Amino acid sequence: MKKRILVVDDEPALTRMVKLNLERTGNYEVRTENQGSMALQAAREFKPDLMLLDVMMPDMSGDEVSAQMKEDEELSRMKYVFMTAIITKDETEAMGSNIGGNEFLAKPVKTDELIATIERVLGE
């Protein structure tokens, strides 16, 4: 069965690229969302196995988005991979407890690396 991935990033071109690259492997079903504040609703509808989440978005940070998700019982088994354009892992860990401990990728990331990370997190 295909794994469901929800990609949340304020850059439409980037979410499109991620969707194209993931879906062409035939292993994933991908939905994209460009507003952090819409992510919760999208997750409730789509019930993803994993959420790929930008850390810094204009309306809501990745930290806040994942905090919302964790309050929802139905979404409690969802996995997270964070992406950021700004800083390093250490500094992001200091930003919020919801990010610390999760997988973390620095932009720009190569597709191979992205897929390897997603597989690892799904396998956990």
Partner 1 sequence: MAWSKTTYLLLSLILLSHLPGEISANDNAINLTTEEQQWLKAHPEIRIAPDPDFEPFEWFTLDGAYKGMAADYLRLVEQRLGIKFTLVHNKDWPQVMDMARARQVDVLPALARSPQREQYLLFTTPYISAKGVIVTGKSYENIQELEGKKIAVVTDYVWDDWITYNKFNVRLYRVERTLDGLELAALGGVDAMVSDIASVTYLIRKHGLSNLRIVKDEGVDRNLELSFAVRNDWPELQIIIEKALASLTFEEKEAIRAKWLTLEAPGLWRNPVFWYSTLGAVAALLLLLTATVIWNRMLKQRVELRTRELQDANMKLMQAEKMESIGRLAAGVAHEVKNPLAIIQMGADFLSQEMAKDEITGGVIKDIDEAVHRADTVIRGLLDFSRDKKLELTTGSINEVIENSLQLVGHEMRQRQIEVRTNLADNLPSLELDTNKLQQVFINLFMNAAHAMEREGILEVTSRLKALTNKADLSRDSENRFSIIQEDSSKVFDPFYTTKPVGEGTGLGLSVSRNIINLHHGSIGIQNRREGGASVVIMFQLNRGDRA
Identify the helix (H) or strand (E) that includes residue 17.
helix 12-23
The CA distances from residue 75 to 44, 45, 72, 79, 109, in Å, are: 7, 11, 5, 9, 26
Q: Does 91 bind partner 1 (CB under 8 A)?
A: yes
Among 3, 4, 21, 35, binds partner 1 (CB under 8 A): 21
Nearer to partner 1, 15 or 66 (CB): 15
- CA–CA dist 48, 46 (Å, integer): 6
> Minimum distance between the CB of residue 71 and partner 1, rounded to whole angstroms?
28
> Minimum distance between the CB of residue 37 and partner 1, rounded to whole angstroms?
19
# of chain residues touching partner 1 (CB under 8 A): 23
Q: Are 10 and 58 in contact (CB under 8 A)?
A: yes
List the interface residues with partner 1, window 44-83 (CB under 8 A): 56, 83
Residue 15 CB neighbours (<10 A): 21
Stretch that binds partner 1, among 7-15, 36-44, 64-72, 95-103 (CB under 8 A): 7-15
Nearer to partner 1, 17 or 42 (CB): 17
Q: Which residues of the shown chain bind partner 1 in the complex (CB under 8 A)?
A: 11, 13-14, 17-18, 20-21, 24, 56, 83, 85-88, 91, 106-112, 114
